[in-house]
Structures are given as structure tokens and as C-alpha cells.
Amino acid sequence: MPPGLAALAEEPDFKYAEPWLVRSIASSVDGAFGLLDEDAPENLLPIAAVDDESLACVVCAPAQLPDDAGNGLIVRWHTRDVAPRFQADVIDIGIVDYVSSLDEELAARQDGLRRMLDWIGPAYREAYLVKEKRPRDFVIRPVRIACQNVIVGLAAFAQDSTFDGLSVVAWQTCEVPHVATHEGNRALAALTLCDAFRNGGTMEIRFDRDARVSRNGRHIVFHGHPEKAVPASLRRYGRTVGVYLGAEDSAAITPAEARKLFLAVTPMPAELRARVDDAVTTRGISPERICFSLLSQIWREPELDFILATSARAASILDGGAPWTDRASRQAESEVCRAAVMAGMLFRRLNSTDVAGDAGSAVRPVEDRSTGVTWHVDEVSGAVTFRGMDADAPVPWTHGAGGVDEITVFPRTALTSDLARAVTADDSPGLKAVLVPADVPSPPAADGVVVLRCPDRLADIDKDIERRLLTSRISRG
């Protein structure tokens, strides 16, 4: 018997969660198991309905489930066909924790919806959207996240100078069949943390502060979030990623908790995450700066990976670059940034399945356009190896070179004879090539080297880099 199952049976009725519990839907254990499809593992016992097409199930014994799913964990089992990687995702770590948090979430849902739909949203539209004004950071600002016209997250927050942090008066999410488990929580948490970072405060986020909203000459005061604590759905998500929110103060996410959560909600490949952890612990780069750069796409994942791997000036680059008076530092940072930008452009080109312009193409896909190309940065040579390419497609930015599923590129801003000889002698896997801007000339000694010419000229790349550095400098209030 998994931990907590007996406690749930002895627990009094949950007023709001009870209609969602399997014990209210099925009259027997056999009836509960009957809610699952025949492909479900035999050791999953349904506990509650997540939505119309999935169930929250407790794992009754170790089984062939993803990652570390084990006895007592709560996983989400979809009753319709979904990709295997989305099946049996962990939705909570314990039965009582899950059902209690579900009850708290549902108890506050209607109040949260009313204040968002009846007051905060219309007031913001009346005061700012209609007048085409931009609000200051201390104004209550609504946020809505939707996927395929289905709202999965609503929130409203403002910067509060009384504690130099973010005050949240509405925050709620839901699980829907076509969205991955906890993705609404992850996305809304990422937006909330990015806003807290941009406002320049301590990254503390409180859910118990009063807020006043005006609409049509009428005023209303909200006394904190309806739950008067860190939202139950957010705490539930935090438990699944090992971040226990509200542990020090039930009504707040402390700065330390916010930084851990920021790292958890920011998607990164394993190799990049290891470099980020090293940069945080040994190079003094703040995790919130890195996470904000990735989530706001100031620097994309391959670009940031290249910068962290090859430059000792990564901290300065992420802060917005060295001052213009320090010419030597600016030149060093520019070289690294140019290489990173070109490598990032090539990755997006290799990883894209957009068929616009292909002969005979009748339909142009606009969603899920990635092919699964991966990258690896060599810290010593400053080369980037891309794997998983389409071997039948020509290598982009070359004159017909193709037939490879792996390529190692050396992104540089100048193609010299010494570089050509070094690339020729390199023992990196796959096709080896030099990646340069469009207007870089080739010396005669480089005739035997494969050259990839980025579509942008050097001046265009520099303009893009300066835009990114400026955004980094002004992104933190």
C-alpha cells in the first residue's frame, strides 16, 4: 500500500475536491481500476480526475515509469493517445499533499476568476489599453496564458516598494488535455519571476498584500491572494521539481526560493545546465540573470552555452558588456558574441522544418517545427558539433554540400590560412567547416576547407549584438 492511501480513506470529505476524487466517481476499487485504459500499468490506482481525459494515479509499487517515479508518487495518466514522453508525468509527490492542495486550489478558484474577469482585467483595459499607455511597475497588471485558445493561467501582480518585491493578488492555473503536466504552472511562474527580476527588487514574491483597483469610478481593495498563501498549484509544481515554496513564510516566496524556482522553470539541456551551475557557483554569475536572458531570448540556449564555454568574460557579457572606454575588453567580448550569434543562427536553421519555398509544397507548417538537432561546444577549440541532421538534405549556407548527419563548425569572424590548416588537421567528428559572416573574404590557402557563410554581414551581426547587450543592461530596473 502506498504511503498516504489509508490517511486519505480516513480523511473527512474535502468540500471542493470531493467531486473530483475517484471515491466519489467509482463505488469500488475494481470500478476505480476500470477508469484506466488497458495500456495502463497494473500498479496505478486512480485517485482523482485531472481533466476529461486524464487521471491522477498513485504508484503502488516501483514500475516501468519515467525518471524516478516510485511508490507513493502521484502521476498523470492520459486515457487518450499521447506521446510516450508525456505519459505518467509526476504531478505531486504524495496522496494527501495532492488532494489537500487540490481542495485549496478549487476553494479559491471562483474568487480569483471574479477578480480577474470583473475587476482587474476591465480596469487595466480602461486605464491603459484603450488609452495606449504603458503602466508603471507599481500598477496591478493582468497576465493571461493560453494554448490553442484555451486559457491555462491567469495572474495579476505589481511591484511593492514597502518590501521591495512583487505583490501578487491573483494567480491560478489549470490542467487541460492538450497541454503537458504542470506546463501552465511552469509558464506562469516563469512570467512572474521574469517580472520580479525586471522590476529590480529582491525577487521576493508575496501573496498577502492589499491592492486597490479602480473601474468606472468605483474602487475595490483586494486583501492579498484569495488563498492568503503561496498558491496551492504553484506549491504542488514546486514539490515535483524539488523546490519547496512557502517553507519559511507560507504567504511568500523568499528570494532564495525564487532563485531555485527560476532555475527549475527555465528549460535547458543537461550540458548547458551543468555549465550554468558551474557559472553560478564558481564565476559569480547570478542565476536570475542567466534565467532571464534565456527566457526573454536575449541569448538563446546554444549561444549562451557557447559564451559560457569559451569566454572568461561571460559575466560581463550577460550584464550588458564592458564599457565602451575599455576597448580591449569590448573587442574580446565582440569576438565571442559574433561566434555565438552565428552558431545560434545555424542551429535554428538546422533544427527547423519550415518548408517555405520548397518545390511542390502545398502546406507550410507553423507549429512544432523542430527536428531534434543537438549541439556540443568544445571548450578548447571553440567548435560546435551539431548532431541529428537530415542526411538527405544539403548543408545550409554551402554550395551543395550534403549527405551528413553530423557537422562540426568553427565560428570565426576571419578566415585565415592558419585557421584553414587547423580545421583540416582537427579530429572532430563529422564534416568540418568554418562558419563566417557573409562578407568575409577567403584566402587562397582555404580552398580545401568547407566554408559556411552566414546570411548576415559582419556589420549586421554587430548591430544585433549591440541590441542584445543594450537589452541586458536595461532589463533589470
Q: What is the pLDDT along the chain (477 residues), one digit of tens a residue?
A: 666 667 676 666 788 888 888 877 666 666 677 788 778 888 888 989 999 899 999 888 765 554 444 678 899 999 888 888 899 899 999 888 999 999 999 999 999 999 999 999 999 999 999 988 999 989 999 999 999 889 999 999 999 999 999 999 999 999 999 999 999 999 999 999 999 999 999 999 999 999 999 888 889 999 999 999 999 999 999 999 999 999 999 999 999 999 999 999 999 999 999 999 999 999 989 999 999 999 999 999 999 999 999 999 999 999 999 998 999 999 999 999 999 999 999 999 998 865 554 444 444 444 556 778 999 999 999 999 999 888 888 888 887 666 788 999 999 998 888 888 888 888 887 889 999 999 988 776 566 788 899 999 999 999 999 999 999 999 886
Separation between Cα atoms, residue 91 and residue 172, nearest integer Å: 16
Q: Which pLDDT does position 313 carry in this prediction?
A: 94
* Rounded to 5°, angle at Cα 187 from 122 and 204: 80
**Helical H segments across 267-388, by residue range:** 270-282, 287-295, 301-310, 314-318, 327-350
Give the position of cell 492538450: 178
C-alpha cell at 169: 493578488
Across 37-62, b (16+ Cβ under 10 Å) vs e yields eeebbebbbbbbbbeeebbbbbbbee
Count the neighbouring beta carbons within 10 Å of the beta carbon of residue 65.
19
Separation between Cα atoms, residue 43 and residue 71, nearest integer Å: 9
Separation between Cα atoms, residue 404 and residue 401, nearest integer Å: 9
- Domain ranges (residues) in the chain: 5-92, 99-265, 280-357+370-474
Q: In a 10 Å sphere around its CB, with 0-12 CB exposed, 13-18 middle and 19+ buried, how is residue 363 labelled? A: exposed
C-alpha cell at 320: 550588458
Q: In a 10 Å sphere around its CB, with 0-12 CB exposed, 13-18 middle and 19+ buried, how is residue 399 labelled? A: exposed
C-alpha cell at 191: 512570467
- Write down the pTM of the prediction: 0.89
DSSP 93-107: S-HHHHHHHHHHHHH
Q: Which pLDDT does position 404 carry in this prediction?
A: 84
Give the position of cell 492511501: 5
CA distances 180 to 154, 184, 373, Å, are 17, 8, 22
What's at 435, amino acid-wise? L
Count the neighbouring beta carbons within 10 Å of the beta carbon of residue 235.
24
